[in-house]
Structure 1
């Protein structure tokens, strides 16, 4: 076998090895992004499971706040529906944001009842809810981090050639709603 054919064969083998390694790295990165997305679902589900207990606890103290309970229940049901139907991540997070708003109204109601705030059950539920909110925030950050890493990988040369060949698509990063970016205005004069 002539030397030039051996060199060509070695180059072909090296290119094939590079393609296989790059493809496998892209698959691993994509799966990391999907796992981060799933982690968000798990935390949203955990929060949805806490809500009925929290609502029932507050109901015992503030029975006349029916509108708030209804808003929380509807928002929780919508959030759970997006999880059950395996909706896209943006729909799940929009429903979760709506639930967060309803929960904030519920917490405001709870603030008006000192006996409720002193309740051990309520305190435990609020601690679990706070802990879950922290986990949701962390998993959103994890999703964005793994998505950014994956997006960078599929855009870099020469890996982008392989990514395009095998139809790898970039993931959209989660963004904060414009209304949540501004600091709340506090007025101590009243």
Structure 2
């Protein structure tokens, strides 16, 4: 049994197996303030500004945006400024300059054309299970996806219907 779960590189790996799994890399940005002047008690999603705010062990991570840029992990200062300028609108204790010494980070998210992840067995290869394409929800959906993949590998019925997530839907 094999599991193909390689994030943004899954499409290229699938192609080597003569499978078609359309996907693009969506680049997201984050900045982590190591000693913020204020630490929110809860995570926040600032929908209008496309920001996610996460307190983490005394630090504060602010992330956001989605840039379709292939596997280019270079930093767009325009995108970073968009995050640092919008953040104080939601958290007035902060100013854009609070991020002046923070090094931005990027991560690539595997994005399918219809926004649904690919989870299920391959029609072409009987010993292949595919689990990829979760976009910005990868870490959040990892436990559920792991459970589904374990069920498939053990021959058990998964707890959810998988038709809409079929890795064969674009064949």
Name the TM-score, length of structure 1 as normaliser. Answer: 0.25
TM-score where L is the length of structure 2: 0.27
Bigger radius of gyration, 1 or 2?
1
**Higher helix fraction (1 or 2):** 1
Please identify which structure carries the higher strand content. Answer: 2
